[in-house]
């Protein structure tokens, strides 16, 4: 799956050319051939763009051949989500699935990667994860308001209690009040092992809220041993794998995650308001654009529905409004986001109803734009 760290790394690359392909897909197996055809169409589009560039022909052929290796098996197109992203250059070749639906297919060759769709997905406010734990199974899901996708777990993540501590619970049918002290100790060892592995290899490397899905009697025990700061206080207290079989995991977990995600948005807004009161907040688009190009922005909040046609002059930081010929530079707010990332700032796309301004942007500055005397 496409991750925030992918975008953070791709935005800093220096080699060229950079090939970016985005294709809307679907996990519905009946549409496998449509997914494949849509991707092939973008390969042709990219090939035409490469032919127009003054570059080494052997590199050009190598790049095209690598693109053609993607989706060479039926299994690949059977296990898609709602978007496919390909990033290719002379030094990297990344294939990523996407949770959110893409508006259209794109194939772009440029001197940098085209990261607008990737950025909006990975910095979107409504992404979270669900950790499903029972005595006999462990699973992790990437989720948003509409979709869920199972995460392929690292080999060191235990698959069940036996795998974690070498034994299963001695009295699985007893209630929490009847459970022996020995049972409780073994369960805590199991949960600690799972928590540590998930935090080390998956959720701990993200900023995503984590919903714990396990039966009510295990919720407290898991939290006693958990060291994951992303774990939410509220969990899904039901049999998680039954929820998965009934295709209800997303709906049930969203009811819990939504509250936490809205609270987080409120905290960002409160932080902006506090800093703005001391001349360390800015919401004018042109001022925010300039601040972004000089590395002045610590965090920028962006209305997830905002679109401002235009581009930013990298030398002066001035905004040039109007549709641009280059598909990479036709949205001012996304360009602002990319500059913020380049200077190690944070980007948050949040709902319009939560935005503290009506300009589409609200930036927390590292230092005041106009310091008080």
Tens digit of each residue's pLDDT (9 = 90 or more) over 4-48: 889 989 999 999 999 999 999 988 878 888 989 999 999 999 999
pLDDT digits (tens, 9 = 90+) for 82-100: 899 999 999 999 999 998 7
pLDDT for position 218: 97
- Which DSSP string corresponds to 279-344? T-EE--HHHHHHHHHTT-EEEEEEETT----EEE-TTT--EEES--SSGGGS-HHHHHHHHHHHTT
Output the DSSP codes for 32-80.
Answer: HHHHHHHHHHHHHHHHHHHHTS---HHHHHHHHHHHHHTT-SHHHHHT-
pLDDT at residue 329, as a whole number? 45
Homologous superfamily in CATH for domain 278-365: Ribosomal protein L30/S12 (3.30.1330.30)
Residue 166 pLDDT: 82
CATH 3.30.960.10 domain position(s) in the chain: 4-122
Mean pLDDT of 265-275: 95
Which DSSP letter does residue 170 get? S
Kindly tell me if the per-residue pLDDT of 2 is higher than 60: yes
Average pLDDT over residues 224-233: 96
Superfamily designation of domain 4-122: eRF1 domain 1 (3.30.960.10)
pLDDT value at position 99?
87
Helical pair 332-342 and 285-293, crossing angle rounded to 10 deg: 30
- Given this model, what pLDDT does residue 79 score? 79
**Residues forming CATH 3.30.420 domain(s) in the chain:** 128-259
Q: What is the pLDDT of residues 292-343, one digit of tens each?
A: 999 999 999 999 888 888 889 999 999 998 865 454 446 899 899 999 999 9
pTM of the prediction?
Answer: 0.81
Q: What is the mean pLDDT of the chain?
A: 89
CATH class, domain 128-259, is alpha beta
Residue 183's pLDDT is what? 82
Dist CA 49 CA 36 (whole Å): 20
pLDDT tens string 188-223: 999 999 999 999 999 987 879 999 999 999 999 999
Tokens linked to 95: 């294939």
Residues 157-166: tens digit of each pLDDT: 999 999 998 8
CA separation for the pair 282, 269 (Å, rounded): 12
* Closest-CA residue to 129 (of 22, 224, 3, 268): 3
For position 26, what pLDDT does the model report? 86
- Asked if the model's pLDDT at residue 78 lies above 50, the reply is yes
User: In this predicted structure, which of 97-106, 256-265, 353-362 has the lowest mean pLDDT?
Assistant: 97-106
Residue span(s) of the chain under CATH 3.30.1330.30 come to 278-365
Straight-line distance from the first to the last Cα atom of the chain, in angstroms, rounded to the nearest whole number: 49
């Amino acid at each position: 799956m496409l991750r925030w760290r992918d975008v953070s790394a791709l935005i800093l690359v220096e080699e060229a050319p950079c090939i970016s392909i985005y294709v809307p897909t679907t996990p519905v197996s009946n549409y496998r051939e449509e997914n494949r055809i849509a991707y092939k169409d973008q390969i042709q589009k990219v090939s035409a763009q490469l032919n127009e560039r003054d570059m080494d022909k052997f590199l050009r052929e190598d790049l095209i051949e690598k693109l053609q290796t993607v989706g060479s098996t039926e299994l690949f197109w059977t296990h898609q989500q709602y978007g496919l992203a390909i990033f290719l250059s002379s030094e990297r070749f990344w294939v990523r699935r996407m949770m959110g639906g893409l508006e259209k297919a794109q194939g772009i060759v440029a001197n940098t990667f085209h990261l607008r769709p990737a950025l909006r997905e990975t910095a979107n406010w409504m992404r979270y994860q669900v950790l499903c734990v029972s005595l006999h199974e462990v699973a992790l899901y990437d989720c948003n308001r509409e979709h869920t996708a199972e995460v392929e777990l690292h080999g060191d993540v235990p698959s069940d209690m036996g795998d974690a501590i070498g034994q299963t619970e001695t009295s699985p049918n007893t209630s929490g009040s009847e459970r022996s002290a020995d049972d409780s100790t073994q369960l805590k060892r199991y949960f600690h092992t799972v928590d540590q592995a998930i935090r080390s290899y998956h959720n701990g490397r993200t900023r995503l809220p984590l919903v714990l899905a396990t039966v009510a009697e295990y919720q407290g025990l898991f939290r006693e041993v958990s060291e994951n700061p992303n774990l939410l206080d509220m969990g899904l207290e039901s049999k998680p794998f039954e929820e998965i079989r009934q295709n209800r995991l997303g709906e049930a977990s969203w009811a819990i995650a939504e509250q936490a995600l809205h609270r987080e948005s409120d905290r960002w807004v409160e932080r902006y308001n506090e800093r703005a009161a001391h001349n360390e907040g800015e919401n004018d688009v042109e001022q925010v654009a300039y601040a972004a190009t000089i590395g002045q922005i610590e965090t920028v909040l962006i209305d997830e529905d905002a679109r401002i046609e235009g581009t930013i002059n990298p030398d002066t930081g001035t905004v040039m409004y109007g549709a641009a010929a280059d598909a990479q530079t036709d949205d001012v707010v996304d360009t602002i986001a990319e500059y913020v990332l380049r200077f190690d700032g944070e980007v948050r796309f949040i709902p319009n109803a939560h935005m503290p301004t009506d300009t589409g942007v609200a930036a927390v500055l590292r230092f005041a734009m106009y310091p008080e005397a």
